[in-house]
Copies of this chain bind each other. A is one copy, B any other.
């Protein structure tokens, strides 16, 4: 079984989580055969190790971690890799992969551009 983890920053304000939760629900509807979970870097729960531990209790063979960040800054390039290395060592039976941040996707940027243009064209 493959699972997907949406990895986000986290914030003090609970409203921060809303779009990530909507994204998770969207993905659950579109890939009903795979668990789709959230994990936060800081300030919010669950954290990545917790989410991976829960998935490891199931028959999970592969986990794709998708950083829901625009930029590949320090969090994605420096904080995430050692966390993933440790998780790989703890769960050698699970193929844990890390995707590029969603901001690296030309299609995501194109969708943001369309949203900006729609705002600019509103009377």
**Which A residues lie at the B interface, using CB under 8 A?**
2, 4, 6, 8, 11-13, 15-20, 22-23, 26-27, 30-31, 34, 64, 66, 68, 70-75, 77-78, 97, 99, 101-105, 107-117, 119-120
Between A19, A30, A72, the greatest number of chain B beta carbons within 10 A of the residue's beta carbon is seen for A19
**Given A34-B120, A102-B115: A73 in contact with B13 (beta carbons within 8 A):** yes
Oligomeric state, in copies: 2
> How far does the alpha carbon of A114 sit from the alpha carbon of B8 in the complex, in Å?
17
For A23, the chain B residues whose CB sits under 8 A away are 109, 112-113, 116
For A18, the chain B residues whose CB sits under 8 A away are 71-72
Query: Given A26-B110, A105-B111, 5 other A-B contacts at CB below 8 A?
Result: A16-B71, A16-B72, A105-B112, A107-B111, A107-B114
Q: Which residue of B lies closest to A2 (CB)?
A: B120
